[in-house]
Amino acid sequence: MFGDRRLEVKTPEQIAVMREAGLVVARTLEVLRSAVAAGVTTAELDALAEETIRASGATPNFLGYHGYPASICTSVNDEVVHGIPSKRRLAEGDLISLDCGAIVDGWHGDAAITVPVGTVGPDLVELMRVCEEALWQGMAAATIGGRVSDISHAVESYVRSQGGYGVVEDYVGHGIGSAMHLPPNVPNYGRPGRGPRLVPGLALAVEPMITMGSIETRTLDDEWTVVTADGRLSAHFEHSFTLTDQGTLVLTALDGGAARLDALGVACAVG
Ligand code: MF3
Ligand code: CO
């Protein structure tokens, strides 16, 4: 209880604006997904993202964040997160994580998808599937009156049930709202029943990062790009979501999470 006071609890009106920001992010990620192809540079994807976000009347929140030089993160293959867009050309068989954020009237959205470039092998398709499903399992485990680590535990348990993937611990999910990164941390591992209590209006970004090998990471000399220490591939998916008295609302999903939550037996407050 005591520690919960520093958590930002949004009003329904504020959540409605966060939903607008989340939809900008969701639509931008769909534009990017369609643009991913062999021969495209990650800088071209960044330009397309910035244009799409601004055309929606929103502002990219990554740009200038602690000096970050772009509007999205593009993390290819062994890059886990925070890859900086560049002249690098995507090649057939690559995996790319696209991480995107936007601000509407001061309220933030943040989400990420990992997509294949052309056709990739079945092991990589499975890596992406497990990571995305772990994200949904995590959000589905969040209930009013539950605790933050219920999400963490559900993410980790799902990944562990699917094989020998590594669950990255060096980077975690976070609270979101009037800033992109707010307390609490939302780890992708741990025991359930720990951490702050989940209440309506608390908004969280859940973002599992899983690898084909070890969970050890290192940061490149550009001071942003995080890669796996063993060079094996990784995937990353992220959504921002909140709990309401009508159910769970995935702020950065086009359908508010309705389809995926329904499949998991969780009520969705489509907004
Ligand atoms: N979605 C990313 C995260 O939560 C945001 C990247 S911040 C940036 O870690 F500065 F790299 F853009
Ligand atoms: Co995030």
Q: Which atom of ligand 1 is nearest to the CA of 61?
A: 12
Say what the pLDDT of residue 254 is.
98
- C-beta pairs of 256-261 under 8 Å, 24+ apart in sequence: 256/19, 257/139, 260/136, 261/136, 261/139, 261/140
**What's the 117 CA to ligand 2 centre distance in angstroms?**
23
Domain 12-263 has CATH 3.40.1280.10: no
Smallest CA-to-CA distance from 94 within 41, 50, 131 is with 41
Local mean pLDDT, 10-residue blocks, the chain (271 residues):
73 98 98 98 98 98 98 98 98 98 98 98 97 98 98 98 97 98 98 97 98 97 98 98 98 98 96 52
Domain spans of the chain?
12-263
Q: Is 110 in the pocket of ligand 1 (CB under 6 A)?
A: yes
**What's the 186 CA to ligand 2 centre distance in angstroms?**
10
In this prediction the pTM is 0.97
Which ligand has the shortest distance to the CA of 203? 2
